[in-house]
C-alpha cells in the first residue's frame, strides 16, 4: 500500500504486538490508540480476547469509534491513559489485564498539521 505523507506509520509494530499478546483470550489495553495501527494488529492476533483503547484526541476517537463498529472485542474511551484503572473495571469488570501497551511517540498527521500552522 502506498503511504501518503500524513499517514501515520506505527513504530515497532510487529515486535511490540508479538511481545504484548501472550494469551489470545486475554484482556489488553492500548493506552495511546492514535490511528489504531497497534490495536488492529492486536485484534488480528486475539481470539476471544478483548482490547480497550484510550486516546484524548477527538480525531483518534473518531477512528476508534469506527473500529468499535467493525469489531465487538474492541472498546475505545476518550480519556487519558492515566485513568485506565477505572475504565478497565467498568468495561472488563475486573481489575487486572494481561498486557498494556503505550506508544509515546509522535503521531505523524499531528506533526504535519503543526508544521503547516507554524509555516503560515
Site residues, ligand SAM (CB under 6 A): 8, 10, 31-32, 34-38, 54-57, 60, 80-82, 103, 105-107
The nearest distance, CB 77 to ligand SAM, in angstroms, is 9
Identify which of 12, 1, 73 has the alpha carbon closest to the alpha carbon of residue 37.
12
Greatest Cα pair distance, the chain, in angstroms, is 49
Do 54 and 84 form a contact (C-beta atoms < 8 A)? Answer: yes
The nearest distance, CB 93 to ligand SAM, in angstroms, is 22
- Nearer Cβ to ligand SAM, position 10 or 75? 10
Identify which of 81, 71, 1 has the alpha carbon closest to the alpha carbon of residue 41.
71
Interatomic CA distance for residues 9 and 11, integer angstroms: 6
- Nearer Cβ to ligand SAM, position 62 or 105? 105
The nearest distance, CB 105 to ligand SAM, in angstroms, is 4
Amino acid at each position: 500500500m502506498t503511504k501518503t505523507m500524513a499517514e501515520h506509520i506505527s513504530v515497532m509494530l510487529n515486535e511490540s504486538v508479538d511481545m504484548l499478546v501472550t494469551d489470545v483470550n486475554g484482556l489488553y489495553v492500548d493506552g495511546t490508540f492514535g490511528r489504531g495501527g497497534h490495536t488492529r494488529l492486536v485484534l488480528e492476533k486475539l481470539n476471544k480476547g478483548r482490547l480497550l483503547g484510550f486516546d484524548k484526541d477527538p480525531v483518534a476517537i473518531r477512528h476508534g469509534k469506527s473500529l468499535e463498529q467493525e469489531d465487538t472485542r474492541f472498546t475505545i474511551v476518550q480519556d487519558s491513559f492515566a485513568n485506565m484503572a477505572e475504565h478497565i473495571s467498568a468495561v472488563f469488570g475486573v481489575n487486572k489485564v494481561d498486557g498494556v501497551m503505550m506508544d509515546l511517540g509522535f503521531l505523524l498527521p499531528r506533526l504535519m498539521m503543526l508544521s503547516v500552522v507554524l509555516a503560515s
